Amino acid sequence: MGTVEPVVRAAVLPAVGAPLEITEIVLPTPGPGRVRVRLAAAGVCHSDLSLSDGTMRLPVPAVLGHEGAGTVVAVGPGVTHVAPGDAVVLNWAPACGGCHACRLGEVWLCANALTGAADVHARRASDGLSLHPGLNVAAFAEETVVAAGCVLPAPQGVPLTDAALLGCAVLTGYGAVHHAAKVRPDETVAVFGVGGVGLAALQAARIAGASRLIAVDVSAEKEGLARAAGATDYVVASDGTAREIRALTGRQGVDVAVECVGRGSTIRTAWESTRRGGRTTVVGIGGKDQEVTFNALEIFHWGRTLSGCVYGNCDPARDLPVLAGHVREGRLDLGVLVTERIALEGIPGAFGNMAAGRGGRALVVFQGDS
């Protein structure tokens, strides 16, 4: 008898700009180098919203979701680093190991990391429509089948529902602070955008020893979240944000600004909020229409640095154990990031909250997992 292909529920994006469909999909049996995972939880990230509205372009129709953790159900031939029953964290950007960036050790810039997004991942059960895996891993589903490079052993001592956050928000926020901005003890830091990544960046800056930690967001309601993550000051974004930050720092500006929004005006404000010689790291993903302008004289005069950051400039295999250590020792509180726990049906509402600037991280928790 042939192997029965599993039918599971998933959140499918039928076309760019279309509403998500919660529907049944049919997954293939894991082939060579593939792993089937039963999801415990999946975080709802702004990148999922960016795929949904076309800010980021990847093949559709697709099963969205790229931040998750779960348990291995089955493995295909050639998979040796995980086995059925193992707890794993999903890695949406597996490095190929052979491109120019990988040879330089910059695996977060791997030229081939997203090639899997063009593959056929599953079929819609109702009509057989071929579906792609959004950002490689298709985590908005009860189960998924991914390339072996997309699964990493979950750190011990961290519940799987919490570990889901490590796959994107925490790696990105932590890496932006520690790898990209390289925050040093006693430096002052401003974090723009208090969503999941921003809350992770605030905690990372606190861990790094920042002496003053200023959170900036358009919503006054997020102050409690920001302070729980370590913010010493909170600024509601306005036309006077840069002036307010300079006033909080002896008219100098902060040493480091971390921009987690991806809007041209916010990037410019973050840059203006740093001191002469300060550093701004841009984490947020903006659209092509979001432009930032500078004149040549101010670039010379201020001597500031503006840099991009992809996936926190992280190597997940290297950084996951470090983050797990911070969690176990109580320095990193993953629960602070989560403002609501939802079912698959709650994802459209979570998208709406993100678009409106409300809340931190929504976490899809699958029935029977904790």
User: What is the rounded CA–CA span in Å between residue 265 and residue 271?
Assistant: 10
Provide mean pLDDT across the span 32-56: 93
Assess whether pLDDT exceeds 50 at residue 1: no
Task: From 187, 270, 273, select the one nearest 232 (Cα to Cα).
Answer: 187
Whole-structure pTM value: 0.94
What residues have CB less than 8 Å from 4, skipping those under 6 apart? Answer: none
User: What is the rounded CA–CA span in Å between residue 197 and residue 334?
Assistant: 11
pLDDT confidence tier of residue 370, bands split at 50, 70 and 90: very low
- Domain ranges (residues) in the chain: 7-167+333-365, 173-310
pLDDT of residue 61: 97
pLDDT of residue 56: 86
Domain 173-310 belongs to what architecture? Answer: 3-Layer(aba) Sandwich (3.40)
The percent of the chain in helix, strand and coil, each rounded to the nearest 5, is 35, 25, 40
Provide mean pLDDT across the span 72-95: 97
Indicate the CATH number for domain 7-167+333-365: 3.90.180.10
pLDDT of residue 368: 54
User: What is the rounded CA–CA span in Å between residue 159 and residue 198?
Assistant: 22
What residues have CB less than 8 Å from 220, skipping those under 6 apart? Answer: 236
User: What is the rounded CA–CA span in Å between residue 132 and residue 64?
Assistant: 9
* Residues 246-287: tens digit of each pLDDT: 999 999 999 999 999 999 999 999 999 999 999 999 999 988
Show the tokens assigned to 60: 């559709």
Q: Do domains 7-167+333-365 and 173-310 have the same CATH topology?
A: no
User: What is the rounded CA–CA span in Å between residue 241 and residue 233?
Assistant: 13
Q: Give the DSSP H or E segment for 363.
A: strand 361-365
pLDDT confidence tier of residue 161, bands split at 50, 70 and 90: very high
